[in-house]
Chains A and B, each alone.
Chain A
Amino acid sequence: MDPTLDLLYRLADDQLILGHRNSEWNGLGPILEEDIAFSSMAQDKLGHSLQLYTLLHELGEAEPDTVAFTRNAPQFHCCQLTELPIGEYDFSLIRHFLFDHAELLRFEALADSSYEPLALVARKIKGELKYHVLHANTWVKRLGTATEEAITRMQAALEFTLPYALGIFETTAAEPEIISSGLFIGEEELQRRWEESIAKVLAQTALTLPDLRLLTPVTGGRHGQHTEHLQPLLDEMAEVFRLDPTADW
């Protein structure tokens, strides 16, 4: 695939799928204000995906709605981390923490992308991502230093989630060209910055960051290999759209 399309599909699909997943907390959040916060951030992510699908449309791909609602799981390029069910709040918070640290660093780097339309979008959305990271950090610091139950659960969620989080940085065949053309700094450099960034926050808690070199990343998502959880999510997400794909909303 063309390196720009390859990169944009990965970025957009991550945002759409995690945005949809996190929206499932709507009405179920632990307290009202947190429910609103988590739902609003989910809506931000859907907004980000729309901007990225619009860039793809400008490059000749189908309409954003068509791309979002008519593909099946093997045609998606999101990492498997984003498609896992919301589980308990500990898992959803840790996923939010691990994913959004990578997103913020990713879009800060993309603000200097050689593909100017993408750089413009990145400059617009990195402010929102900064807040998403602040939100994640605040809860991780709070729960990671709270009661024994909170610390045990956050630690377990961290250990469960990390191999999936390492899958964020799975590369595709287009990677060398993505880097050489100045589109993006590349996944390896992003992962290095991400490790520094999450370690800095976790050091302020009672949580322990395992040795990442000993973990096996869960990969495949960038190449269309997904968990059994993605297709049901897509079916539900597109349920209303597919009733009448030509409807004017």
Chain B
Amino acid sequence: MLFSFDPRISRLELPESAPAPPDKAALDQFPTYEVFHQRKENSAYVYVGPVHAPEADVAFLFGKEQFSRRFPCTGMWVVPTEAIRVTEYGDDLQSVYDRLPLLPADTLAAPDAAGLEAYDIFHLKKRGKAHTHVGQVQAASPETALQAAKAAFGDQRPVVNVWVIRSADLLRSDEDDRDMWTTTPDKKYREAIAYKVQDRIDRFKQEG
């Protein structure tokens, strides 16, 4: 019988080793959404990680749980993973914008043309870091948005990778809900650092 220090588990009278799980049908996962958070007021939104969810509203809930509880957070955006247009990766110290193929001039719409939409642009400055929001551009397609981003933000160095996201695809936290992010302070018990046991271990050893 399986013994656990949690008496509730022991009471279940489970066998020592669990039986092999049954084969799952393929594709039982929800699609993924990518989450961006804002660590303090007026700072840029930074990519923080993915969640699985059936829709954006639910992804937002899960994003809040996964990514806003362990450090300060003042806002959150979520976007379906498949709505992110990703450039190729460049070398450190260079800019991936330099390697963009030039589109024919007539595909680049004039700034005041009709049919333009807002796109949000995110830069990865270094491999292993997180994509960070740099601003918005107006464009007619993700491809032309990237060209517009090059014009607006292309002087930044280094830029290892760029994400282009149609602004309408981003679900953003509500300004009216600011107080939702102020969770009850003094939650050190949620963090490993709060478990100070060395004193007790030393004492226990001495007693033993």
Q: Decide whether A and B assemble into one complex.
A: yes
Alpha-carbon gap, A135 to B68, bound state (A): 15
Q: How large is the interface on B (under 10, 10 to 19, 20 to 34, 35 or more residues)?
A: 20 to 34
Query: At the interface, yes or no: B179 with Cβ under 8 Å from chain A?
Result: yes
Query: Which residues of B, 43-97, contact A by the 8 Å Cβ criterion?
Result: 51-55, 57-58, 60-62, 64-66, 69
CB pair A127–B51 under 8 Å, yes or no, is no
Q: How large is the interface on A (under 10, 10 to 19, 20 to 34, 35 or more residues)?
A: 20 to 34
Chain A residues within an 8 Å CB radius of B182: 124, 127
CB pair A31–B181 under 8 Å, yes or no, is no
- A47-B187, A127-B180, A127-B182 known; A32+B61 contact, CB < 8 A: no
A45 nearest CB across to chain B (Å): 11
Chain A residues within an 8 Å CB radius of B184: 44, 47-48, 51, 124-125, 128
How many cross-chain pairs have Cβ atoms below 8 Å apart between A and B?
60
- A47-B187, A239-B7 known; A33+B180 contact, CB < 8 A: no
B62's nearest neighbour on chain A, judged by CB, is A33
CB pair A142–B179 under 8 Å, yes or no, is no
Chain B residues within an 8 Å CB radius of A31: 30, 52
CB pair B179–A33 under 8 Å, yes or no, is no
Alpha-carbon gap, A32 to B62, bound state (A): 10
Pairs across A and B, CB under 8 Å, 20 listed: A31-B30, A33-B51, A33-B52, A33-B53, A33-B62, A33-B66, A37-B62, A37-B65, A44-B183, A124-B182, A124-B185, A127-B180, A127-B183, A128-B183, A134-B61, A135-B61, A139-B58, A142-B57, A142-B58, A240-B7
Where the two chains meet, the residues of B that have a C-beta atom closer than 8 Å to any C-beta of A are 7-8, 30, 51-55, 57-58, 60-62, 64-66, 69, 177, 179-185, 187, 190
